[in-house]
Chain A
Amino acid sequence: MKKQTILALGITSIILIASTEPVMAYTLLSPRRRWSSTPVTVRVYNVGNSTISDGSGGVSATVSAIRVWGMISSSSTSSAAVRGSAPATIMLNTNGGLCTGGCLAATLTGYYVSQAGDDRIYDADVYTNTAHQFYSSGESGCSAEYDINGIMAHEVGHVIGIGHSSVAGATMYPSVSACNTANRTLASDDFAARDNLY
């Protein structure tokens, strides 16, 4: 085989490999941190969001939605979040005094700083800005509302230690728009971030 043919085949192979491999652009929270064991327990406080009319204020939808990560043990709870204490708790009914204005939802996370670069997450709680309008998979139709399933799937990404992704279509992509349900489904980039940590 001629050298030119071999070279052409080599270049073609590289191009094919490059074009078929998904572009990974996730980030992890810095410093890198993760929970000590899996599955990670996440509770959803059973007082739901008053703007969601699916019968549970989005509680049931959120319990199901966050399992998309495949490493979350979720259920509803009658215990509100206690900051600084596990388990991770999602609050749909309060902004926690911190998620106001343009904030839709916020994750407050706590960890012990180690010198070894292998920090352990000790607690993470999620708060929701009740000044905005939300809807869930349990409702039909949407009008200028934000999808609580996708919002909470994204926040639970933060809960387990993942930062934002530059891949449009990834659940951890930072931009969100009303009536968009794309974040309910994880992209390969999201799974790659998870698998990097656990």
Chain B
Amino acid sequence: MHRRSLSIVTLLLIALSVPVSASQFVDQPFDQVARESAYVVRGTVVNTWSAWDDAHEVIYTFATVRVHRYFGEATGPDTLVVREVGGVVEGYAMEAIGFPMVRQGEDVVLFLSRWDNGAEYRIHAFNQGKYLVRNRGGVEVLVSDPVTQGSDRLDRDRFDVRANGVDDAPGLTIDEFAAMVDDARAGGRVGHDLHRQ
């Protein structure tokens, strides 16, 4: 119980330690985000590409995520395709301000929900549904991603996580996170306002 309380406090610290960036969102409780997600995965973004939709109205960025672990009871394929609004095609950039980004090479934990077409997934609850995995002294911890659309360039070539304070932010261990997801998806109530966008 004491350990669980510490986890909640840690998540709260994670939430409050990152620069906030968003259009305008209402924070959702962790347990709600966990329960509503089709999958909760830990994986690596192996490649990304951007393209207009068929109507040439919206640019989407697609990301192939190699899944290393499924949290909770739901499991799926070894690779998933994540699609997020925003991207750059032939010099034209489209951004949904404050929405999450996916960058090639990232080691991430994602809450995912299915797009209407059923073939691809989107990050659930916007940036509340994304964590970066960091190795601190041999221990893997999860930290919120401080960079959202509009707060940095969409091409990630020059992205420097140290400059964004990620490596100094408080983190939650993978095991602590997994226990919280299990509890939430089993119907438990983990806490409120744990992650601020």
Contacts and interface: CB of A to CB of B under 8 A. Distances in A.
Interface of A: 27, 29-31, 82-84, 98-99, 101-113, 119, 122, 132, 151, 154-155, 158, 163-164, 174-176
Interface stretch (B3-11, B91-99, B180-188): B91-99
A108 B26 contact: no
B128 A30 contact: no
A113 B91 contact: yes
B58 A83 contact: yes
Contacts of B150: 29-30, 109, 158, 163
A163 B150 CA distance: 7
Contact of A99 (B19, B23, B88): B23
A70 B25 CA distance: 26
Contacts of B22: 164, 174
Given A30-B151, A101-B125, A102-B26, A174 B85 contact: no
A106 B151 contact: no
Nearest to B88: A113
Interface string B6-20: 000000000000011
Contacts of A155: 23-24
Contact of B97 (A29, A31, A102, A104): A29
Which 7 pairs between the two chains have the least Cβ-Cβ distance?
Answer: A106-B23, A83-B57, A104-B24, A174-B20, A102-B26, A29-B150, A107-B97
B172 to A, nearest CB: 21
A8 B187 CA distance: 63
B23 A163 contact: no
Contacts of A82: 57
A166 to B, nearest CB: 8
B91 A105 contact: no
A110 B23 contact: no
A7 to B, nearest CB: 37
From B24, B96, B151, residue with most partner A Cβ within 10 Å: B24
A112 B85 contact: no
Nearest to B21: A164
A165 B56 CA distance: 33
Contact of A163 (B21, B92, B126): B21
A101 B28 contact: yes
Contacts of B124: 101
A174 B93 CA distance: 23
9 contacts: A99-B23, A103-B26, A106-B23, A106-B97, A107-B96, A107-B97, A108-B58, A113-B93, A163-B97
A108 B94 contact: yes
A112 B21 contact: no
Contacts of A101: 28, 36, 124-126
B27 interface: yes
Contact of A105 (B24, B36, B58, B93): B24
Interface string B124-151: 1110100000000000000000000011
Contacts of A109: 94-95, 97, 150
A104 B197 CA distance: 13
B27 A102 contact: yes
Contacts of B58: 83, 98, 108
Contacts of A103: 23-26, 126
A82 B55 CA distance: 11
